[in-house]
Amino acid sequence: MHRDRLLNLGMAFCGVLLASTLIAAPAVTPIPQKFRQEIARHHDPSPGAPSGLIQLIDLGNGGVVRAFTGGHWYRKTDSRWEAEPTLDPTAADEFRMADAAGAAVTVKVPWASVRQVLRRGTVQWVVTESDPVEVRPGRPARWMGWPSRMRIQQAAMAPDGRLWVASSGGLFEQRAEGWGRVELMDGVGRVWATTNVLGVTFDSDGSPWIATRAGVAMRGADGAWKFFEGKDGLPWNDFTGAAAGQAGTVWFSTRLGVIRWDGRDFHYRQGKRWLPSDDVRHLEIDDEGGMWAATAEGVGRIEFRGMTLAEKAELYQGEIEKYVKRTPYGYVAEAPLGKPGDRSTAAPTDSDNDGLWTAMYGAGECFAYAATKDPAAKRRAKQAFEALRFLQKITQGGDPSPARGYVARTIRPMDWPDPNVGRIESDRREQAHDVLWKAYEPRWPKSADGQWYWKGDTSSDELDGHYFFYPLYYDLVADSEEEKARVREVVKDLTDHLVGHGFSLVDVDGQVTRWGVYGPQDLNRNQYWWVERGLNSLSMLSYLAVTAHVTGDNRYHDIARELVEKHGYAQNLMFPKVQQGFGSGNQSDDEMAFMCFYNLIRYGKDPEIQDRVRYSFFQYWANDQPELNPFFHFAYAGQNLGQSITNGWGVFPVSPWEGWLEDSRDALYGLPLDRLNWGHKNSHRLDVVRLARLQSRDLYEADRAARGHRVDGKVVPVENRHFNHWNTDPWHLDYGGDGNELGAGTVFLLPYYMGLYHGYIEKP
């Protein structure tokens, strides 16, 4: 057997004693703050904007933007659109426009057949389906004599002034003797069939690009053509045209979105987040690099605005403060909207995991304060602490009331409808497919002061969030003994509750909550809990490490040592995820595991446990690294960057693989400013590979449809997905939503501030 495989098997399965080799972390060039943010501008249309099917866009001299629809021209001036006054929509056989000198010109062609307007100096061409028409100031229009048997799809002007035409009969260029066919041959003699060419343009270097159903082709300086297909990263091929931008950028319009080539990769933009309609008939690129799209439902624009990551964080913070935070305690989850796309109609309500989401938001603020010393970050972190502490205090003193230390999932005010009504029936239905589900009343007890309902049956998700936040707040934010004492009390009470109830979270009914099971009697010996054995063993050891760190009481280290020596918890956590390779397993568990690994390495004191934890963390991260998750990357690098483990075969590095920082950068740069839940479709993409049957089926969901990754092995980028939290399945290809819910920017803020704290991001 190969030596490297022996190393892996020995370490992973045979329980070989490992010894960590602590070396200096390699130097990391921080992610630059400055970048160009991609922004869609169609959601807040200018007054008077043309609607419905837009036939074409015309970018005139001086940056004038005009849109043509139904025989009418509309001109954009400042922040509004205005219909041009010289229109005569009854003249269906005439196309009216302005020449290069600004004079009105009428071309005797059916306006419905006009595909585009081209300009070069004082010369313009009105390109119709049947012929390009040359228009010069002071001269009659001149038809170019295009063969009538072929329909023109698009025309482009070559650097030498000749017209190239993409047609239903192929690609042609204007020559002295007439129209000549252009053959596409690559450097090894392969010829690409071009019987139907859908688009043509010349990039900023003068190289021609064409678009066909076979893919995209580009001719290099050596005269050879290079072909791009799905296997080369091309997302889609139902083209309607092409347009060139700055610095080698090329855009392609399709009947299902737009595509941008940036000189290295293709980027796909589809769905209401990016365009008024996916059916894009024509596009143009302005002098600032912005793309204007004529779609079936109005004018769209995608622009790029220079900004910093710090500025992006402030925009998300502002939305959270204005629209998302709920109750005076400021719980952070998501906010349903009364009207799709209208943030002013936000009405945040409770979620099952308010404790978890608020904890992750608060953890980001702890990192923010540590990295920047911004008083606003400290205030936000303190508010998060008070919110989480209240979830523990509110459960006490009422009737019924659980044991001290128990934490609620969330709260809701008493003037809202009673959430217990009809709940027991819902729980009994749930038991039909979950034999461990609890049906009891009240699931929403009342607080002792009669002001709140609080939700019970609290899950392990909540506890992982609480324990992730508390030590960060204790170490990085709390700066007085009184404040630290409040943290110690909350952490100690929660941990003592768990330990005192057999490592379980016990509800008001005296029974363990559905997911609050951490004891060896269940994890090691109950048939229903083997799936959770690894993750919950990891969680409990991390909870004890946190508690020992915050309280300074080594008794909790002793309890952890007993779980390791008598009940095999260190071995259990070597396999914290039940999975069949990339894309399999449960993503909520992933989010929880990364928080617990981070804490257990950061605060654990047992060298033998730490060795195994470090290697288990490596296995976990390696399985998840194609998910392009900056939170996962930064949490992992924060504890394992530059680390190695030594055993009998030598040194085994566990530092993150090359590319983790670049993937994190791309995700932070690319995450849309618009956090509304617009739908996305990716299952049709040519550059997507479906997951194998083994990976697309697991113990949680018997059959997951439309799951896959791009041809590079990684999931589709954040620009092509919508998710409220990092527990969303990133291998899923299609996402629903119609802009009726606003997600919190925590998905950006937590990794951004974590990366800033660890030095992976440039200081603002």
Question: What pLDDT is stored for residue 369 in this prediction?
Answer: 98
Task: Evaluate if residue 14 carries a pLDDT over 50.
Answer: no
**pLDDT band at residue 44, thresholds of 50, 70 and 90?**
confident
Q: Which residues of the chain form CATH 1.50.10? A: 17-34+314-758
Angle between helices 3-13 and 607-624 (to 10 degrees): 120
- Cβ 31 vs Cβ 665: under 8 Å: yes
Checking if the pLDDT of 256 tops 90, the result is: yes
Check residue 192 and give its pLDDT.
84
The mean pLDDT of the chain is 92
To the nearest whole percent, how much of the chain has pLDDT over 90?
A: 82
Q: Which residue has the tokens 């008083």?
A: 375
Q: Tokens 């190239």 label which residue?
A: 164
Q: What is the pLDDT of residue 37?
A: 98
Query: Which pLDDT score is estimated for 705?
Result: 64
Query: What gap in Å lies between CA 333 and CA 317, rounded to an integer?
Result: 13
- Whether residue 87 has pLDDT greater than 90: no
- Please tell me the predicted confidence (pLDDT) of residue 19: 43
The model's pLDDT over 709-764, given as tens digits with 9 standing for 90+, comes to 999 999 999 999 999 999 999 999 999 999 999 999 999 999 999 999 999 999 99
Is the pLDDT reported for residue 698 higher than 90? no
12 pLDDT band, cuts 50/70/90, is very low
The structure's pTM equals: 0.94
pLDDT exceeds 50 at position 474: yes
Strand order in the sheet with 19-22: 19-22, 643-647, 650-653
Closest CA relative to residue 387, chosen from 310, 437, 462, 443: 462
Q: Which of 19-33, 110-124, 160-174, 397-411 has the lowest mean pLDDT?
A: 19-33
d(CA 424, CA 418): 13
* Cβ atoms within 10 Å, residue 569: 27
Backbone angles phi, psi at 453, to 5 degrees: -90, 140
For residues 393-422, give the mean pLDDT: 97
Q: Who's near 379: CB < 8 A, 6+ residues apart?
A: none
For the chain, report the end-to-end CA distance as a whole number of angstroms: 51
The pLDDT score that the predictor gives to residue 24 is 52
User: So what CATH class is 39-86+151-309?
Assistant: mainly beta
507-560: per-residue pLDDT in tens? 999 999 999 999 999 999 999 999 999 999 999 999 999 999 999 999 999 999
pLDDT surpassing 90 at residue 453: yes
Q: What is the pLDDT of residue 104?
A: 83
Mean pLDDT across the stretch 156-185? 94
Please state at what angle helix 533-551 crosses helix 460-476, rounded to 10 degrees: 30
Q: How confident is the model at residue 696 (pLDDT cuts 50, 70, 90)?
A: low
Q: What is the location of CATH 2.130.10.10 in the chain?
A: 39-86+151-309
Q: Is the pLDDT of residue 460 over 60?
A: yes
Mean pLDDT, residues 28-43 taken together? 96
Residue 89 pLDDT grade (very low, low, confident, very high; cuts 50, 70, 90): low
Provide the pLDDT confidence category of residue 148 given band limits of 50, 70 and 90.
confident
Reply yes or no on whether the pLDDT at 100 is more than 90. no
Contacts of residue 221, defined as CB under 8 A and 6 or more positions apart, other chains included, come to: 205, 207
Which run of H or E residues covers position 132? strand 132-135
Q: If pLDDT is split at 50, 70 and 90, which confidence band does 88 have? A: low
| pLDDT per residue as tens digits for the range 186-238 | 888 888 878 899 999 999 999 999 999 999 999 999 999 999 999 999 999 99
Highest-confidence segment of 143-157, 581-595, 623-637: 623-637
- What pLDDT does 488 receive? 98
Q: What angle is formed at CA 603 by the lines to CA 599 and CA 608, rounded to 5 degrees? A: 100
Per-residue pLDDT, 26: 72
Higher pLDDT: 659 or 23? It is 659
pLDDT of residue 140: 87
- At 18 the pLDDT is 40
Model confidence at 46, pLDDT cuts 50, 70, 90, reads: confident
For residue 567, the model assigns a pLDDT of 98
- Other residues' Cβ atoms within 10 Å of the Cβ of residue 260: 18
Tell me what the mean pLDDT of segment 492-503 comes to: 98
pLDDT at position 703? 53
Q: Specify the CATH class of 17-34+314-758 in words.
A: mainly alpha
- The angle formed by the CA atoms of residues 710, 712 and 714, to the nearest 5 degrees, is 60
Give 1's pLDDT tier (boundaries 50, 70, 90): very low
Copy the structure tokens of residue 651: 């040194």
